[in-house]
Structure 1
Amino acid sequence: MFAVFKSARKGINLVFLLFSAVIVAACQAPTMRSGPTINTSNPVPVALLIPGESASAGDNIIARSLENAARLAIADLDGVQIDLRVYNTAGQADRAAAVARTAVDDGAKIIIGPLYGQSANAAGVALSGTNVNILAFSNQPSIAGGNVFVLGNTFENTADRIVSYATQRGLRDVMIVHGADNVSEAAGRDALLRSASNYGANVTGVSSFEMSQQGVINAVPAIARDAQSSGAQAILFASGTEGALPLLTQLLPENGVSPSTTQFIGLTRWDIPSATLALPGVQNGWFALPDPSLSSAYASRYQASFGEAPHPISGLAYDGIAAIGALVRGGNSNALTKSALTQSSGFAGVNGAFRLLPDGTNQRGLAIAQIQQNQVIVIDPAPRSFSGSGF
């Protein structure tokens, strides 16, 4: 069984940004329908679907954080009025579908949430004939499309960032390592394979292991031999810190694959929990993360407003409100149509630049960080717009 580190709260840097600058104005007048007509002179009815009233204490904590973040975003809007209506889904797909229909019956012009992929899919099906778009908190591309957009950072987005960065620095021969018979690890593997193809990386091998401690121990010698014999310059790990990554990065160096000579690169964040940063095997490793300065400013603002640290995904609720506010500020009655939501210039959120794509997925600006002496060092900053590098 893998060891699971307890999450440690990071110290909050009390640096406040001017949050009105976080929200960018809509730059393109939409020309296509696929969304309700709104009166931008009046408060815009927005439904927020959160997993409140759940049997899970964790769901209720997330629900509170998402609602707080949405209200914080509304307070930061300049010249835009949002009529926020909150609906609890209890983390259940059937209830999410029911309250989504209720929200539209109540006059909602757009929906932010729900949290889980199944719930978002159910809500999307329930509203398929209503012309109302959904900005879900999920990061699953499989549920995106039609009237459903996902706000969560996807494996595809992270894979593109890390693979493009690696190839730009001459690391074109890469090996992919993932857990077998696991949906998340398989999705990560596939995202890395697609990104390797898109950015001209040569995949020297794809190795897997059984999802258990003994499975990793048994597989590592062969993985190490494959890495050495194939000439891989980098190893791309689909596993995260909550799973096999700590053991993989411990055992591979013991079997002759050193992170000082073979670049270790993660598809997931290696700074959560912070205890991971002290592991010898992750030193020199690369991973992608949202703009740290913006994330820190948001955490500081949230802490000051609500007396507690925000849940890591709460910024998605803020981003949803920020995008809506930016579009409504333009004064167009079709501000919430699909073509408006997918404007190429995107939006600026609390974790950096992001934009929604016509297929329902998204792109988010990410920084590349390296672990050096147990600390996170940004080696390539996150882009602040879609006109520069990093996408």
Structure 2
Amino acid sequence: MSADTTERGRQRGRKLQEILYECSAATAKVTGRRAFLTGLAATPFLTGCGVADAFRSETTKTGGPGQAALLLPLSGQSAQLGEMLQTAVSLGGGPGIGIEIYDSGSTPEDAAAAARNAVDGGARMLVGPVFGAQARAVAAAIPRNVPVVTLSNDVSLAGDGVFVFGVTPAHSAQAVLSLASQRNLRDIALVVPPGTFGAQSVAAAQPLAASLGIRLRAPLVLESASGLRDALAAGGGLPDAVYLPAADASLRPFAAALAGLGPQLIGSAQWAALDLEADRDFRDAWFAAPDPLRFAPFKEAFAEAYGAPGGIISGLAYDGTELLRVLGQRGQQTRRGLLNKEGFSGVVGPYRFLDSGECQRGLAVLKVGAGEFSMIGATSV
């Protein structure tokens, strides 16, 4: 990546931040056109108007910068990820005064040491680390009055000073199941892989489905598509929809097994990392994702700065940096500041932290077309 490319990316990032601050008045106009948006990948840079109105309002604050830290994996096995996240946080002018970057390495011990150094250096709030085991180590290594906003999506981390900032199974389920209910899809099968993500997807979907009047069948825990049709038949025949939250190696075989059978295929925000629009087995499928009106400008600025796509994790790093900036300007880099009832807004979408350490987050629902996506719904907080 050349110095010229990096500088162009930073300039685009600064332009992005200007848009985030200056275009909030367009939000109401955009909202009425959501159902007509198509072509996420081709969305022009300037369609970002309306993003981060909460950030814009804070430009008039005069409380001065705070003291906070970003914990990024800049060395060890995850150094490439750390480089990507460092590019993301450099957009919009970089971390800025009062926000330092510390290398959290790739082990829990590395992250704990980085957190202690940050707190010893005066940090009152931390964004990062990325990984769950590191977040646990950090929480145990520093005073509980220093909030830790981890980029992980593991909801089991929430509490005891840790706030989970990642896009969780609950966020995806809220978006796609709400739309399913609105469209009268009342009988839904849930297919998940073995393991933590699958269990968390089930735990998120079951109470939500009940509240929406959806009959969510007993979850099918499968590692492969073999026997999927028989399992669905045994559960009462073909459902109205099949929810496949995991985007692992089993996803495409599952979609192929269901192609042409009739159930609506729906997925989580994990699908956003995949190129699905060229695969006919996913035609007309729905999945949760960041609102393209918010995310496309960031995506373009990041790709120009880094030379490759970044994805949701990069957007979270950017939003975490902006969160620190906003709370620093307010003089509220504290637990109380995080729990602002009005919430916050970023390139990944609107969000609000809860006292439990969990995060409510609004997402869009995109429909897969032939070479494009269209936005067919969205949730807020």
| Aligned 8 A contact 1:196 1:202 in 2 | yes
Structure 2, unpaired ranges of 5+: 1-39
| Aligned 8 A contact 2:88 2:317 in 1 | yes
Match of 2:221 in 1: 208
Match of 1:136 in 2: 150
Deviations 1:83-103 (A, max 9, x none): 222211222111111211111
Count of matched residue pairs = 340
Matched residue type, 2:73: P
Matched residue type, 1:345: E
Deviations 1:323-353 (A, max 9, x none): 22223333xx4x1221221112111111221
- Tell me, what secondary structure is at the counterpart of 1:47? strand
Q: CA deviation at 1:114?
A: 0.5
The 1:120/1:15 distance shift into structure 2, 3 A limit, reads: same
Distance 2:110 2:127 in 1: 15
The 1:21/1:190 distance shift into structure 2, 3 A limit, reads: closer
Distance 1:299 1:184 in 2: 26
Distance 1:163 1:11 in 2: 24
1:169 aligns with 2:190: no
| Aligned 8 A contact 2:136 2:157 in 1 | yes
Match of 1:348 in 2: 345
| Aligned 8 A contact 2:74 2:82 in 1 | yes
Distance 1:26 1:340 in 2: 17
Matched residue type, 1:196: A
Match of 1:272 in 2: 273
Match of 2:54 in 1: 24
1:157 aligns with 2:171: yes
Matched residue type, 1:168: Q
Q: Which moved more, 1:17-26 or 1:139-148?
A: 17-26
1:196 aligns with 2:209: yes
| Aligned 8 A contact 1:357 1:363 in 2 | yes
Percent identity between matched residues is 27
Q: CA deviation at 1:262?
A: 1.6
Distance 1:248 1:306 in 2: 33
Distance 1:290 1:148 in 2: 23
RMSD: 2.8
Match of 2:17 in 1: none
1:64 aligns with 2:83: yes
Distance 1:176 1:73 in 2: 40
Distance 2:140 2:155 in 1: 16
Match of 1:226 in 2: 234
Match of 2:109 in 1: 94
- Tell me, what secondary structure is at the counterpart of 1:314? helix
Please report the TM-score for the alignment, with normalisation by the length of structure 2: 0.80
| Aligned 8 A contact 1:367 1:378 in 2 | yes
The 1:63/1:170 distance shift into structure 2, 3 A limit, reads: same
| Aligned 8 A contact 2:115 2:141 in 1 | yes
Q: CA deviation at 1:53?
A: 1.2
- Tell me, what secondary structure is at the counterpart of 2:71? strand
Distance 1:233 1:167 in 2: 11
Instruction: From the two aligned structures, give the one with the greater helix fraction.
Output: 2
The 1:70/1:20 distance shift into structure 2, 3 A limit, reads: farther
Deviations 1:233-253 (A, max 9, x none): 11112331x321110111234
Distance 1:50 1:124 in 2: 16
Deviations 1:274-316 (A, max 9, x none): 1x32223221211110011221101222344455543541111
Q: CA deviation at 1:108?
A: 0.9
- Tell me, what secondary structure is at the counterpart of 1:176? strand
Match of 1:327 in 2: 327
Which of 252, 261, 264 in structure 1 is aligned with 2:258?
252
The 1:137/1:269 distance shift into structure 2, 3 A limit, reads: closer
Which of 51, 54, 58 in structure 1 is aligned with 2:73?
51
Please report the TM-score for the alignment, with normalisation by the length of structure 1: 0.78
Matched residue type, 1:188: S
| Aligned 8 A contact 2:190 2:243 in 1 | yes
Matched residue type, 2:369: Q
